[in-house]
Structure 1
């Protein structure tokens, strides 16, 4: 997945300003794709330059005007092309796994602290995803079922990682 396609997908759901797009990222897809504000604005500029998105300036009453981005027909065609293409191989970049790989430099207590910190982070993420899943309730549409599937995937990965952490901690005992 590329950031370009994530942005196109979110703009396909609703026209958004750059600020609102960041909020949408954080509230919808952040459990599997993240982007900072600068990346989002650079991507929006590239999408407009490529005519995959267009800008509408909305004048504010006594406030600064807002630039709202809309996906264009060319943008929808690119989104459809990407959705129908074969999945790209997953690029594995995991800073924590790099730490585990190099952790033999630490003593056992250092490794345990590192694992405990990761457990806390995973439990927090898992709690957030579980709460989001419960807020969604019973999905009533195909759209809701597919979007909820991404939350369930995040929950499954979190649970699997907690089990893996249990195994490592037992091996260190």
Structure 2
């Protein structure tokens, strides 16, 4: 998936500013796709240049103008085309697992304990965040989005279980 398609998909829900898009990513899609502000604004510029979104400037008093983006017919067609295209194989890149894989070379058991404890804290914080999200399930589209949230929750639950196993079998036993 590209950020381009994620933004098109979110704009298909409703017109948004770059700020709105960042908030929406963080509150609804971050468990499978994260984006920072600069990436969002850069991509919006490209999408606008390609005619996939329109930009409406809304003047505001005592605040900077709002730049609201809306999906065009060409943008909707691009989103539809992407949805119907074959799903590519996406190979994972996981810095934490790479560190665990190579941590034996340091022969530093405290390093492994620290890595596991830090990861457990991050995973638990993220799980708590996702579990606090209330996902409506009234429409078919809502239920699909809720199931992606459930996927994120399940991944974190499995990771926490694996971290406990790692701690029991390798870290605590050392």
So what's the TM-score if we normalise by structure 1? 0.93
Show the counterpart of 2:60: 60
Shift of 1:144: 1.3
Asked whether 1:108 is paired with 2:115, we answer no
Alpha-carbon RMSD: 1.3
Q: Does 1:91 align with 2:91?
A: yes
Q: 1:62 to 1:115 in 2, by over 3 A?
A: closer
Match among 144, 147, 168 for residue 170 of structure 1 = 168
**Once the 2 structures are TM-superposed, how far is the Cα of residue 25 of structure 1 from its aligned partner?**
1.1
Extract structure 1 runs of 4+ deviating beyond 6 A. Answer: none
Contact 2:135 2:145 in 1 (8 A): no
Deviates further, 64-73 or 33-42 = 64-73
Aligned counterpart, 1:136: 135
Residues 1:73 and 2:73 aligned together: yes
| Count of residues in Structure 1 that have an aligned counterpart in Structure 2 | 170
| Structure 1 Cα separation of the partners of residues 142 and 17 of structure 2 | 24
Structure 2 unmatched runs, 5+: none
Structure 1 residues not aligned, in runs of 5+: none
SS at match of 1:32: coil
TM-score (norm 2): 0.92
SS of corresponding position for 1:54? strand
User: Does the CA contact (< 8 Å) of 2:60 and 2:66 recur in 1?
Assistant: yes
Q: Distance between the aligned counterparts of 2:125 and 2:63, measured in 1?
A: 38
